[in-house]
């Protein structure tokens, strides 16, 4: 709410870099419908892969883990959760499905945020209520000591702050005078500074990011996992969040580091989508050609898992056959043993 008070957003100095990022994202947004018409089946394959990656990464950021095969079975609803971690993973799956399927009909208000949290914890219990006790954000050191990183809004003030945040956000959104992506960044920072739940705030923020991007017309989160990109850059995620939250209570915070990070995340997702779409629409058309294109697009070292992510509709056996053929031809070399071994290109000619 602090990002919407006292004309804070109107006074925010926007850099040329930030404005260029917004312009680039508008261009990406304009090309979405073209892809949906040209390669709908391939995009459906990307959607399935993104569901698994989003559920795995968003929970793993918070230390909630399970074997990949169990996550895949849970996503496909071929099994039921058997421990606390799997209960939370299944809950995340359900909220993701709800957003993907019904985003156009989901009103953005505090009761929906509570509903999402309830569904996130529906198998584990304890969700769907604002925090009842204060929850300071601390950093744990290697020696066991803790350092206070941020003091969120008190438990007693949380309900009022969330109501005010949504009123202010709705007003700014409906006026139509501000760039929606900037409003989304402001909302998410305020949400995380309020820290309204006893647990699950990070996962809720990532789910709300997806919903709000849908409301702004950006569908990239359907096909590329935003959560996986956040996991890969989580040091920047926490650093920019820390920078932008300083002096938030006084309304003297700097929203720009966090905004730049968020726009960079969405841009990275669109870049990845276009790379995969380009591969799918290439004249080669064959699965072998798609794997070769993914190898040639690799900078530095890569793994079989990296190639799977770039070619989600190509089987792992095919990927391994192509790698063996390229290794025998002297184009790549394997730097280790086992399924997690790293590979490296030896030639640069395409």
Q: What is the DSSP secondary-structure string of 15-54?
A: PHHHHHHHHHHHHHHHTHHHHHHH-HHHHHHHHHHHHHHH
For the chain, where do the domains classified as CATH 1.10.10.10 start and end? Answer: 287-345
Residue 106, classed as helix, strand or coil, is: coil
Longest dimension (CA), the chain: 67
Please, is 80 exposed, middle or buried when counting C-beta atoms within 10 Å of its C-beta (0-12, 13-18, 19+)?
exposed
Contact by Cβ (8 Å): 319, 331: no
Across the range 215-222, mean pLDDT stands at 96
What average pLDDT does range 83-107 have in this prediction? 97
Tell me what the pLDDT averaged over the chain comes to. Answer: 90
Q: How many CB atoms lie within 10 A of CB 220?
A: 25
| pLDDT at 279 (0 to 100) | 65
Q: Name which of 10-19, 63-72, 210-219, 332-341 the model is least confident about.
A: 332-341
Predicted local distance difference test score (pLDDT) of residue 312? 73
CA atoms of 44 and 291, how far apart (whole Å): 19
- pLDDT bucket at 284, cuts 50 / 70 / 90: very low
Instruction: Note the pLDDT tens digit of each residue in 147-172.
Output: 888 999 999 999 999 999 999 999 99
pLDDT per residue over 303-312, tens digit each?
Answer: 898 888 877 7
pLDDT, tens digit, for every residue of 20-74?
A: 999 999 999 988 877 777 677 778 878 888 999 999 999 999 999 999 999 999 9
Percent of all residues in the chain with a pLDDT value above 90, rounded to a whole number: 66
Contact status, residue 89 vs residue 61, Cβ threshold 8 Å: no
Please give the pLDDT value at position 350: 45
User: What's residue 283's pLDDT?
Assistant: 39
- Min mean pLDDT across 140-144, 222-226, 265-269, 333-337 is at 140-144
Tell me which fold the domain 16-280 belongs to.
Answer: Fic-like fold (1.10.3290)
Architecture of domain 287-345: Orthogonal Bundle (1.10)
> Which range (49-58, 132-141, 230-239) has the least confidence?
132-141
Amino acid 61: pLDDT: 95
Per-residue pLDDT, 147: 84
User: Could you tell me which residues come within 8 angstroms of residue 105 by beta carbon, excluding any fewer than 6 positions away?
Assistant: none
CATH 1.10.3290.10 location in the chain: 16-280
Q: How far, in Å, are 53, 79, 154, 185, 267 from residue 261 at the CA level?
A: 20, 36, 27, 9, 10
- Is residue 285 predicted with pLDDT exceeding 60? no
82 — phi, psi (to 5°)?
-120, 0
Q: What is the mean pLDDT of residues 214-243?
A: 96
Neighbours of 138 (CB within 10 A): 13
């Amino acid at each position: 709410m602090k990002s919407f008070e006292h004309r804070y957003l109107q006074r925010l100095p926007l850099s040329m870099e930030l404005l260029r990022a917004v312009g680039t994202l508008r261009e990406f947004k304009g090309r979405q419908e073209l892809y949906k018409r040209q390669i709908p089946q391939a995009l459906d394959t990307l959607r399935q892969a993104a569901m698994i990656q989003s559920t795995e990464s968003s929970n793993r950021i918070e230390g909630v883990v399970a074997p990949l095969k169990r996550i895949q079975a849970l996503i496909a609803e071929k099994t039921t959760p058997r421990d606390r971690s799997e209960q939370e993973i299944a809950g995340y799956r359900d909220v993701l499905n709800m957003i993907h399927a019904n985003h156009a009909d989901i009103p953005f208000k505090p009761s929906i945020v509570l509903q999402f949290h309830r569904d996130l914890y529906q198998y584990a219990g304890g969700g769907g209520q604002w925090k009842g006790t204060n929850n300071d954000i601390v950093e744990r050191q290697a020696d066991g000591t803790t350092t206070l990183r941020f003091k969120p809004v008190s438990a007693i003030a949380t309900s009022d702050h969330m109501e005010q945040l949504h009123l202010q956000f709705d007003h700014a959104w409906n006026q139509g005078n501000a760039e929606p992506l900037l409003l989304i960044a402001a909302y998410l920072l305020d949400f995380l500074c309020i820290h309204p739940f006893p647990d699950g705030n990070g996962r809720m923020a990532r789910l709300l990011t997806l919903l709000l991007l849908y409301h702004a017309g950006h569908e990239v989160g359907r096909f590329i996992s935003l959560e996986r990109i956040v996991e890969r850059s989580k040091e920047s995620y926490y650093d920019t969040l820390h920078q932008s939250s300083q002096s938030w209570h006084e309304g003297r915070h700097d929203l720009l580091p966090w905004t730049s990070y968020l726009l960079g995340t969405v841009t990275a997702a669109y870049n990845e989508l276009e790379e995969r779409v380009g591969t799918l629409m290439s004249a080669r058309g064959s699965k072998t050609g798609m794997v070769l294109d993914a190898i040639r697009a690799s900078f530095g070292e890569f793994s079989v898992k990296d190639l799977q992510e770039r070619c989600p509709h190509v089987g792992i056996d095919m990927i391994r056959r192509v790698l063996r053929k390229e290794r025998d031809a002297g184009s790549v070399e394997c730097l280790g043993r086992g399924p997690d071994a790293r590979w490296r290109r030896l030639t640069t000619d395409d």
